[in-house]
């Protein structure tokens, strides 16, 4: 066996890509393909870069502004008040500086209805007009606070006098 031949008698090629004999990576026939590949790679990178730049700006445009967040907050507060404390009075401060006091009668998508404290006339209030809401203590809340305070007072007297401990 001669140097440079394999056991079958074929001549061994020098290491290279695509079986070329020159040992270089690309021969003259592959050079145009290399340019096409580079153009495709650069186009793909440019597309990815543009996509990366444009997508965050689209997300930023879709975020709600302050007014929409405020309206959403007011809707949440009014729905909570209507569901859990329907007998408690609510004071609504409007954007023009006036205040409306009453009870929440009905809640809609774009407004809610307040009934004044005497239950006479319903008032429609648009969520966009509301500056802030404050809830007061209704009759049931005051009774619950009174009972809780009385129980805590009795327990404090009992602990101070040490009659409950023995």
Residue 157 inside a domain? The answer is: yes
Token pair of 123 as six digits: 């008032």
Task: Give the separation between CA 125 and CA 152, rounded to whole angstroms.
Answer: 40
| Rounded CA separation 153/158 (Å) | 9
Confidence of residue 149 (pLDDT cuts 50, 70, 90): very high
Q: Would you say 8 and 16 are in contact if contact means Cβ atoms under 8 Å apart?
A: no
**Same domain? 124 vs 163:** no
Overall domain count for the chain: 3
- Please tell me whether residues 80 and 110 are part of one structural domain: yes
Question: In 3-state terms, what secondary structure has residue 140?
Answer: helix
Q: Is 21 among the domain residues?
A: no
Q: Residue 74's closest CA among 96, 102, 93?
A: 93
The parent domain of residue 152 ranges over 138-166
Residues 149 and 131 grouped into a single domain: no
In a domain, residue 2? The reply is no
In angstroms, the CA 119 to CA 124 distance is 14
State how far the Cα of 20 lies from the Cα of 79, in Å rounded to an integer: 77
Q: pLDDT of 72-129, one tens digit each?
A: 898 888 888 887 777 778 888 998 989 888 888 888 888 998 887 776 788 888 988 9
Q: Are strands 122-126 and 111-115 parallel, antiparallel or unpaired?
A: antiparallel
H or E element, residue 58 = helix 31-62
Q: Tell whether 111 is covered by a domain.
A: yes
Within-domain flag for 12:
no
Q: How confident is the model at residue 26 (pLDDT cuts 50, 70, 90)?
A: low
Q: How many CB atoms lie within 10 A of CB 73?
A: 14
- What is the pTM assigned to this prediction? 0.47
Residue 150 within any structural domain of the chain: yes
């Amino acid at each position: 066996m001669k140097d440079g031949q394999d056991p079958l008698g074929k001549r061994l090629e020098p290491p290279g890509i695509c079986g070329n004999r020159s040992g270089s990576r690309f021969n003259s026939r592959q050079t145009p393909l290399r340019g096409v590949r580079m153009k495709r790679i650069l186009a793909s990178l440019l597309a990815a870069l543009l996509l990366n730049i444009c997508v965050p700006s689209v997300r930023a445009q879709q975020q709600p502004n302050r007014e929409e967040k405020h309206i959403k907050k007011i809707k949440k507060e009014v729905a909570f008040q209507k569901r859990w404390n329907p007998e408690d009075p609510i004071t609504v401060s409007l954007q023009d500086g006036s205040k409306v006091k009453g009870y929440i009668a009905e809640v809609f998508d774009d407004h809610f209805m307040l009934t004044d404290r005497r239950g006479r006339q319903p008032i429609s209030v648009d969520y966009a007009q509301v500056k802030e809401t404050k809830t007061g203590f209704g009759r049931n809340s005051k009774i619950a606070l009174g009972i809780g305070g009385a129980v805590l007072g009795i327990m404090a007297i009992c602990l101070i006098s040490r009659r409950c401990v023995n």
